[in-house]
Amino acid sequence: MSMKFLTVQLFLLSMIFATAVTALASSTGPFEETRHSFIGFGKATGIVIVNEAGTVEWKMQLPASDGWLLDSGNIIAAIYPCQKFPKGGVAEINRQTKKIVWEYQGQQKEISTVQPLGNDRYLVTELGAEPRAIVINQAGELLSSTPLDCQKANAHMQTRMLRMLPNGNYIAPHLLDFAVKEYEPLTGKVVREFKTDDRGRDKRDWPFTAIRLKNGNTVIGCTNGNRVIEVNSDGKIVWSVDNTDIGEKLISDACGVQRLPNGNTVITSYYAKGDQVKLTEVTPDKKVVWRFSALPSSFHHFQILTTNGKPLANALR
């Protein structure tokens, strides 16, 4: 074989490889595989921290529905009714000692959510005969109370993942009301409402998570409907994802949702068991770029902590 012929062959091979690299990069993004660490909260799973290798590096067997990793390194969690918290509660846990350093005992039937507000204040949702959003401090003082406009027959299904918005209002998903409502805290007035029963109530699109985006849209996890929708300020669906879109049955009870800074959406599958996928990340064009399945049971909610070794900032959940 002549040197000239070999040179031409190598040149052609290099061109083919370069073309393949360009095509792959344009279709899948960066070559680096997506890796996340996260903290998860579930009834059977308890509270777990999973590293980017997919290994549980911290665990506490408290049945939890919501929570956060605090800047101090401690964990704050909303706890389901159990022996330690008969009516549900809130617990701040020291990660090193696994001791509860601060707690709040629920006053009705259940505590569903907690959100740190700063200055040792917490937004907490109490479910029961008089469902309400309350703000408490670490002294156990009730700083404010806002009644919630939802059904009262089923306390467990009254609301989940209630959050304070940047404007100071509260946003609350009411499952059996098939509605996400925005409240004015001081008056309890509903200033905006988004319905989720556009496909009919038999689809059980119960809203579980509602995330207000910077553009004014709201991302809603629709639990048993196995879909996530994004609505504009008029309540019109402008984006959605379900199993048909992604071509696999990965979404099974879409409870917790997180919108990442890159625009991707991470979704829990609370019904997932065994080796089924518990967390799925999809791009805006509905491509699956990450999945997690290593634990035997799943999560009600979660918080992505790092991506490929870098702390995650400004994720909305």
* Residue pLDDT, tens place only, 23-38: 333 333 444 799 999 9
292: pLDDT confidence band, cut at 50, 70 and 90? Answer: very high
* Higher-confidence position of 18 and 129: 129
> What confidence category does residue 80 fall into, taking pLDDT thresholds of 50, 70 and 90?
very high
Q: 15 falls in which pLDDT band (50, 70, 90)?
A: very low
pLDDT at 73 over 60: yes
Q: State the pLDDT at residue 104.
A: 97
Q: Which DSSP symbol is given to 167?
A: T
Please tell me the predicted confidence (pLDDT) of residue 314. Answer: 81
| 36-311: CATH class | mainly beta
pLDDT of residue 247: 97
pLDDT band per the 50, 70, 90 thresholds, residue 307: very high
pLDDT band, residue 140 (cuts 50/70/90): confident
What's the pLDDT at 252?
Answer: 98
The CA distance from 90 to 78, in Å, is: 5
Whole-number Å distance between alpha carbons of 225 and 297: 20
Contacts (Cβ under 8 Å, ≥6 apart) of 50? 37, 38, 39, 40, 56, 57, 292, 294, 295
State the pTM of this model. 0.89
Instruction: Tell me the β-bridge partners of 193.
Output: 181
Spatial distance between the Cα atoms of 139 and 137, rounded to a whole number of angstroms: 5
The more confident residue out of 140 and 55 is 55
pLDDT of residue 313: 84
**Cα–Cα distance for residue pair 14/2, rounded to 1 Å:** 19
